Amino acid sequence: MRRRFKEHSAKLFVIKDTPQSIALGAAIGIFLGFTPLFGLKTLRAFLLAALFRVNKIAAVVTVSLHDVLFLLWPVVYRVEFGLGYWLLHELHQWPPRLDLHRMDYRVWFHWKHFAAVGGPTLLGSVILGVPASVVVYSLLKRMLVRRQQRHAEANALVQAHLNK
């Protein structure tokens, strides 16, 4: 799992674009990766990156980074639901304990259940996704700027050596 994460994240450093554009594209991908809107996340990341005119490849790569950590996502979605439920509930109560033994799988596909669970989960995903996107944007932009500076310095040294 760690190797796949490194392979995916390494792709961000070989993209030919500005650090700003790559970091914004990555932030969009991270944000959309937190949303519980299953299916078409990659397409949504691509379209949103195109709309904001930022790097589409970075958005697609980072939205797929969440797939590498798929074993953690049931826990993340439960935290998102709990946070959203707490914020939407009048008395700010945590959601009732989840009892999977008594739950029929057909209930999950009923529209009423989806609306009751989807709203709080979507709100919780926004609350977790925005800070995660900001952190990824700022860290990645700083790393990309440093990498560009190091490459520029290395190229200047090579040029100076060749001109001697």
**Per-block average pLDDT, block size 10, for the chain (164 residues)?**
62 76 94 86 94 93 80 85 88 69 63 77 94 95 89 76 74
Quick one: pLDDT at residue 93? Answer: 75
pTM for the model stands at 0.78
Quick one: pLDDT at residue 99? Answer: 60
Locate the domains of the chain by residue range. Answer: 2-163
Tokens of residue 81, six digits: 């639901």
Quick one: pLDDT at residue 41? Answer: 87
